[in-house]
């Protein structure tokens, strides 16, 4: 393949790709993202290949492994074009039926379609599924259409047309102004306006400048950047090149965490392909503009997602943050102007250049424009990636898209913004999602993690969990974070273990103030959020733990006891058999009793007691009733319908 | 180079571009407490004790004076109820590790810090990094470095370098605010220095 040396050559090549493709030819797209692979997508892909070969259909059907379309809960996801029939939870055993029915007979296999849990209706197309219906997918939408290892697929969908437009029809300042006008805010955490960041770098006197992709996605439960890197790496690359052009940089870096091997592989492949086509390297599309990209793998430190720590690590030193009273866009990597933006931010750039800033600002709220991808996880029916317009309410995300809380449990809180985000309670669910709105509610947008919690979740324990994560990830350079978090974690652990004391809340507040005001970087400054937001909305839970040694969610092991209600136990013997601590005294027709001395609070009895009896109860904050006397343990009258 | 005028604790202070607030304060005889600062070393910004209030263009924020650059008409306050409370907490957090450090004791008196406020974990090192940075920046030997991360981070002598360089130098010893450095050196020397025959 010769390098494309002009925008026209790119356009001609695109037409050539399209002319070779028959839009009516069936194409089987199978999600090959990390989530679906974990659910067996590789085996499904292999089964399709084998079946197609067996049936001699190689010439009539295409198959491709694509990026993640987001509905991880029901993976592996298979979409069949041109009809766009969407099959969920496909197994290798389903493959022959799909080939014989859908490909050969053009019939839909009903049982593999999405079935609405409320109406029972089946959805043939992706867009009919409730999970997708309320989303607005401008960034993620191409994932399922693209074989992420094939640049031609991206080109067929107008890929690199924004780059061609920028280089041939716009000056660097035009590009900058368009991005500024779009009011695109950073998708990685603080939501700083990208255009303003770029402008600062462009105007900085130092001639050598850098553009960097922050792909060090480390928040527990977050995987939107991974899905984009794995599924549509060229969109990020295209955005980065456009950014480089806008600020006058000839060198870009992609800082991607080592824990994302598929993303590393796909982005490296994408760079090679783009170079071969003349979309990267010297004299891009004959414009005279040169740009090179390097991939740097992180070494496993969460703090390297922080801008100055990331740049220090890129320089080959220990990834620790440095004081930044001069912004990195003026003095960043190797003390040179450096624009660092998150994966999703870069992926939005080609869309803004192609469709214009006005298109982008039509979506969203006053201060937050465009769409945002969230990874919706936790106690939620539809786990997955969702892309929604800014301004949608949390309630719509959780109930309309997420399908609500499973197992008939009650919603308690949603944690947004990653480990240093905050928990938002039921009464705030009508909050419109946006950078400033979430901050005002004591949480933050962060990079878009969204962890849903139900009534069984203890909010003190949640705070303890996240503070523990951050203590572990603190780089240790500054005292308020390293020592402050260590003490906060110790105090929170004590509270969840029933060793909380009067004054603990106040002490935690003092430590929070010190960390927020005096920490060196954003990790420390935002680290107390899990505590502060849960205290703000769930203070009663803290007080119950400390004053009554009671865990209202019946979750903290040290504060609960298991007890068999003598009025409900029918001596079925299941708990007796399953108890790993041999703490249950049972026997035929004898009401079972838990020996509290031996019990390890593992909860097995609670889980195995048949729901129709429901005899095992959790108790917290009050003494366990004494065991019933031996003579009363015999179950005398046992009616048949109890069995 | 033109002079910059700023105000520190109500006093007009003359400074030059590129100077830090801490340096400007020191030149005017105004004292700000520090633990990780050393005049021969690059500012580190680790202990956060030199935190002050800075007001510029109507905005007030807390900044760390050892790294914050001076600017024209900046108004700096080196003490306030909040600053003192933060310094007290920082000292208390460090006293949990080094309860008998003379440097911490003196500062604890000024800020009313209680060395028993937090559960003790007498590991002695307070991670000011003076030894590590002095060895790297001034002596250019890197005989002592930090290992591991966060709460597991500790200083460690590199036996191969330390066995050659340290006995004739030991310039970092008096810098250590807790005397842990000497102990670490003696231990390294006793346990892992290569024997002279090697």
A168-226 pLDDT, tens digit each: 999 999 999 999 999 999 998 889 999 999 999 999 999 999 999 999 998 888 899 99
Is the CB of residue A202 less than 8 Å from the CB of residue A172?
yes
Of the pLDDT bands very low, low, confident and very high (cuts 50, 70, 90), residue A463 is very high
Of A432, A454, A476, the residue at which a domain comes to its end is A454
CB-based contact A482 B150, cutoff 8 Å:
yes
A122 and A224 share one domain: no
A128 and A221 share one domain: no
- CATH number where A398 lies: 3.10.20.600
Residue of chain A minimizing CA distance to B50:
A518
Query: Residue A310 domain-assigned?
Result: yes
CB-based contact A490 B119, cutoff 8 Å:
yes
How far A480 CA lies from chain B's nearest CA (Å)? 7
CB-based contact B46 A479, cutoff 8 Å:
yes
Where are the extended beta strands (E) located within A3-123?
A: 27-31, 62-66, 78-81, 85-87, 114-115, 122-123
Beta bridge partners of A294: A253
Query: Residue A366 domain-assigned?
Result: no
Residue of chain B minimizing CA distance to A478:
B46
Write out the two tokens for B99: 């309860």
Nearest alpha-carbon partner for A638 in A565, A564, A563, A569: A569
Residue A323: the pLDDT is 83
How far B197 CA lies from chain A's nearest CA (Å)? 35
Query: Residue A148 domain-assigned?
Result: no
Of the pLDDT bands very low, low, confident and very high (cuts 50, 70, 90), residue A23 is confident
Residue of chain B minimizing CA distance to A486:
B151
Which A-chain residues 438-477 have CB contacts (< 8 A) with chain B? 471-477
Domains held by chain A: number? 5
Residue A220: the pLDDT is 85
Query: Residue A228 domain-assigned?
Result: yes
CB-based contact B127 A514, cutoff 8 Å:
no
Residues A507-519 have pLDDT tens digits of 999 999 999 999 9
Nearest to B48 among A476, A478, A513 (CB): A478
CB-based contact B93 A479, cutoff 8 Å:
yes
Q: Give percent of chain A above pLDDT 70.
A: 99
Of the pLDDT bands very low, low, confident and very high (cuts 50, 70, 90), residue A419 is confident
User: Mutation test of the interface with chain A: which of B17, B19, B150, choosing the one with the most A Cβ atoms within 10 A?
Assistant: B150
SS3 A548: coil
CA distance B155 to B158: 10
Range of the domain at A430: 371-454
How far B196 CA lies from chain A's nearest CA (Å)? 33
A95 and A68 share one domain: yes
A128 and A228 share one domain: no
CA distance B152 to B89: 21
Of the pLDDT bands very low, low, confident and very high (cuts 50, 70, 90), residue B102 is very high
Beta bridge partners of B144: B157
Within 8 A of A510 by CB-CB distance, chain B residues are: 85, 89
Within 8 A of A470 by CB-CB distance, chain B residues are: none
Across chain A, mean pLDDT equals: 93
Is the CB of residue A370 less than 8 Å from the CB of residue A348?
yes
A195 and A321 share one domain: yes
Query: Residue A151 domain-assigned?
Result: no
Sign of torsion over alpha carbons A603, A605, A606, A607 = positive
Nearest to B93 among A477, A484, A519 (CB): A484
CB-based contact B90 A475, cutoff 8 Å:
no
How far A512 CA lies from chain B's nearest CA (Å)? 10
User: Mutation test of the interface with chain B: which of A303, A483, A486, choosing the one with the most B Cβ atoms within 10 A?
Assistant: A483
Flag whether residue A350 sits within 8 Å of chain B, measured between CB atoms.
Answer: no
- CATH number where A252 lies: 3.40.50.11540
CA distance B141 to A371: 52
Within 8 A of B45 by CB-CB distance, chain A residues are: 322-323, 477-478, 520
How far B19 CA lies from chain A's nearest CA (Å)? 13
Residues A569-610 have pLDDT tens digits of 999 999 999 999 999 998 888 999 999 999 999 999 999 999
Phi, psi (degrees; rounded to nearest 5) at A173: -70, -35
Residues A308-361 have pLDDT tens digits of 999 999 999 999 998 878 889 999 999 999 999 999 999 999 999 999 999 999
Query: Residue A142 domain-assigned?
Result: no
CA distance A395 to A400: 8
Write out the two tokens for A158: 């107008």
Phi, psi (degrees; rounded to nearest 5) at B145: -145, 175
Residue A640: the pLDDT is 52
Alpha helices in A549-614 (DSSP H): 574-578, 604-608
SS3 A429: coil
Within 8 A of A419 by CB-CB distance, chain B residues are: none
A353 and A473 share one domain: no
| Residues found in chain B | 198
Mean pLDDT of A371-377: 95
Residues A526-582 have pLDDT tens digits of 999 999 999 999 999 999 999 999 999 999 999 999 999 999 999 999 999 999 999
A430 and A498 share one domain: no
CB-based contact B146 A318, cutoff 8 Å:
yes
Of the pLDDT bands very low, low, confident and very high (cuts 50, 70, 90), residue A643 is very low
CB-based contact B62 A518, cutoff 8 Å:
yes
Chains A and B form CB pairs within 8 A to the count of: 100
How far B47 CA lies from chain A's nearest CA (Å)? 5
CB-based contact B48 A483, cutoff 8 Å:
no
CA distance B137 to B41: 7
Write out the two tokens for A587: 């026997």
- pLDDT above 70 (res A303): yes
CA distance B109 to B102: 11
A182 and A242 share one domain: yes
Within 8 A of A482 by CB-CB distance, chain B residues are: 127, 150-151, 153
Residue A218: the pLDDT is 87
CB-based contact A325 B68, cutoff 8 Å:
yes
Residue of chain A minimizing CA distance to B67:
A323
- CATH number where A611 lies: 3.30.70.20
Which A-chain residues 302-331 have CB contacts (< 8 A) with chain B? 318, 322-323, 325-326
Of A518, A547, A576, the residue at which a domain comes to its end is A547
A293 and A334 share one domain: yes
CB-based contact A518 B48, cutoff 8 Å:
yes
Q: For the domain covering B3-79, report its CATH number.
A: 3.10.20.740
- CATH number where A487 lies: 1.20.1440.230
SS3 A117: coil
Residue of chain A minimizing CA distance to B153:
A476
Residues on chain B bordering chain A, Cβ-to-Cβ distance under 8 angstroms: 43-49, 51, 62-64, 67-69, 82, 85-86, 89-90, 93-94, 96-97, 117-119, 126-127, 146, 148-153
CB-based contact A301 B126, cutoff 8 Å:
no
DSSP letters along B6-50, please? EEETTEEEEEETT-BHHHHHHHTT-----SS--TTS-----S-TT
Nearest to A473 among B69, B118, B150 (CB): B150
A131 and A178 share one domain: no
Is the CB of residue A280 less than 8 Å from the CB of residue A293?
yes
- CATH number where A113 lies: 3.40.30.10
| Residues found in chain A | 643
CA distance A67 to A270: 14
SS3 A472: helix
- pLDDT above 70 (res B198): no
A543 and A569 share one domain: no
CB-based contact B150 A511, cutoff 8 Å:
no
Query: Residue A40 domain-assigned?
Result: yes
| ipTM here | 0.95
Q: Give percent of chain B above pLDDT 70.
A: 97
Nearest alpha-carbon partner for A247 in A294, A274, A207, A275: A207
Of A424, A454, A484, the residue at which a domain comes to its end is A454
Find the helix packing angle between A343-355 and A161-169, rounded to 10°.
60
DSSP letters along A65-95, please? EE---S-GGGPSPEEEETTTEEE-S--GGGH
How far B134 CA lies from chain A's nearest CA (Å)? 16
Sign of torsion over alpha carbons A14, A18, A21, A23 = positive
Residue A635: the pLDDT is 83
| Full-model pTM | 0.92
DSSP letters along A257-273, please? -TT-HHHHHHHHHHHHH
Residue B196: the pLDDT is 58
A54 and A120 share one domain: yes
Query: Residue A164 domain-assigned?
Result: yes
């Amino acid at each position: 393949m010769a390098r494309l040396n002009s925008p026209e050559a790119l356009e001609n090549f695109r037409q050539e790709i399209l002319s070779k493709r028959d839009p009516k030819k069936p194409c089987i797209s199978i999600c090959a993202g990390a989530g679906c692979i974990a659910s067996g997508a590789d085996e499904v892909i292999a089964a399709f290949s084998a079946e197609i070969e067996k049936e001699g259909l190689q010439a009539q059907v295409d198959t491709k492994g694509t990026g993640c379309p987001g509905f991880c809960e029901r993976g592996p996801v298979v979409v069949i074009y041109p009809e766009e029939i969407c099959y969920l939870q496909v197994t290798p055993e389903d493959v022959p039926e799909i080939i014989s029915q859908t490909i050969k007979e053009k019939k839909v296999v009903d049982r593999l379609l999405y079935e609405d849990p409320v109406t029972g209706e089946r959805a043939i197309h992706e867009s009919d599924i409730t999970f997708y219906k309320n989303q607005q997918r401008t960034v993620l939408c191409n994932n399922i259409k693209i074989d992420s290892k094939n640049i031609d697929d991206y080109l067929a969908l107008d890929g690199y047309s924004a780059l061609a437009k920028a280089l041939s029809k716009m000056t660097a300042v035009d590009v900058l102004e368009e991005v500024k006008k779009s009011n695109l805010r950073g998708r990685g955490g603080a939501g700083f306006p990208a255009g303003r960041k770029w402008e600062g770098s462009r105007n900085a006197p130092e001639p050598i400048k850098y553009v960097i992709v922050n792909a060090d996605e480390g928040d527990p439960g977050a995987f939107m950047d991974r899905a984009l890197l794995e599924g549509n790496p060229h969109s990020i690359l295209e955005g980065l090149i456009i950014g480089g052009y806008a600020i006058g940089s000839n060198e870009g870096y992609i800082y991607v965490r080592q824990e994302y091997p598929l993303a590393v592989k796909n982005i490296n492949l994408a760079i090679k392909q783009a170079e071969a086509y003349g979309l990267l390297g010297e004299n891009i599309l004959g414009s005279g503009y040169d740009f090179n990209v390097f991939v740097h793998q992180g070494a496993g430190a969460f703090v390297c997602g922080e801008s100055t720590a990331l740049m220090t690590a890129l320089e080959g030193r220990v990834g620790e943050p440095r004081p930044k009273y001069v912004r990195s866009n003026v003095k960043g990597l190797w003390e040179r102007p450096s624009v660092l933006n998150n994966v999703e931010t870069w992926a939005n750039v080609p869309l803004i250049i192609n469709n214009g800033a006005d298109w982008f600002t039509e979506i969203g709220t006053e201060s937050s424009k465009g769409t945002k991808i969230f990874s919706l996880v936790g106690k939620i029916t539809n786990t997955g990636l969702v892309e929604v317009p800014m301004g949608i309410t949390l309630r719509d995300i959780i109930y309309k898209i997420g399908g609500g809380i499973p197992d008939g449990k009650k919603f308690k809180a949603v944690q947004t913004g990653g480990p240093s985000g905050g928990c938002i309670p039921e009464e705030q669910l009508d909050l419109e999602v946006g950078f400033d709105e979430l901050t005002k509610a004591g949480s933050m947008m962060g990079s878009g993690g969204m962890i849903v919690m139900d009534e069984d979740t203890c909010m003190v324990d949640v705070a303890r969990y996240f503070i523990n994560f951050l203590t572990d990830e603190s780089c240790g350079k500054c005292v308020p974070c390293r020592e402050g978090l260590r003490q906060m974690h110790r105090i929170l652990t004590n509270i969840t273990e029933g060793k909380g004391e009067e004054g603990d809340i106040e002490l935690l507040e003092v430590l929070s103030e010190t960390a927020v005001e005096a920490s060196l970087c954003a990790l420390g400054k935002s680290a107390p959020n899990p505590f502060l937001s849960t205290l703000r909305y769930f203070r009663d839970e803290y007080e119950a733990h400390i004053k009554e040694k009671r865990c209202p969610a019946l979750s903290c092991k040290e504060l609960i006891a298991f007890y068999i209600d003598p009025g409900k136990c029918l001596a079925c013997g299941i708990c007796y058999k399953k108890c790993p601590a041999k703490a249950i005294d049972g026997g035929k027709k004898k009401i079972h009793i838990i020996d509290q001395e031996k019990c390890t609070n593992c909860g097995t009895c609670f889980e195995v007691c048949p729901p129709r009896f429901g005899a095992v109860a959790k108790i917290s904050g009050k003494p366990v009733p004494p065991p019933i006397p031996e003579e009363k343990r015999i179950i005398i009258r046992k009616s048949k319908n109890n069995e | 180079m033109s002079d910059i005028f700023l105000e520190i604790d109500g006093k007009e202070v003359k400074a030059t571009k590129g100077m830090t607030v801490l340096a400007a304060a020191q030149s005017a005889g105004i004292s700000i407490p520090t633990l990780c600062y050393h005049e021969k070393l690059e500012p580190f910004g680790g202990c956060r004790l030199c935190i002050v209030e800075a007001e510029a263009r109507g905005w007030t924020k807390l900044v760390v004076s050892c790294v914050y650059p001076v600017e024209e008409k900046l108004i700096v306050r080196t003490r306030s109820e909040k600053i003192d409370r933060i310094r007290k907490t920082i000292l208390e957090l460090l006293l949990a590790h080094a309860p008998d450090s003379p440097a911490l004791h003196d500062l604890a008196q000024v800020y009313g810090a209680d060395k028993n406020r937090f559960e003790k974990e007498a590991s002695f090192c307070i991670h000011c990094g003076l030894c590590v940075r002095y060895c790297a920046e001034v002596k250019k030997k890197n005989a002592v470095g930090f290992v591991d991360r966060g709460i597991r981070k500790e200083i460690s002598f590199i036996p191969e370098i330390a066995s050659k360089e340290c006995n004739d130098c030991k310039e970092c010893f008096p810098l250590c605010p807790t005397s842990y450095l000497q102990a670490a050196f003696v231990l390294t020397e006793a346990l892992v220095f290569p024997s002279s025959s090697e």
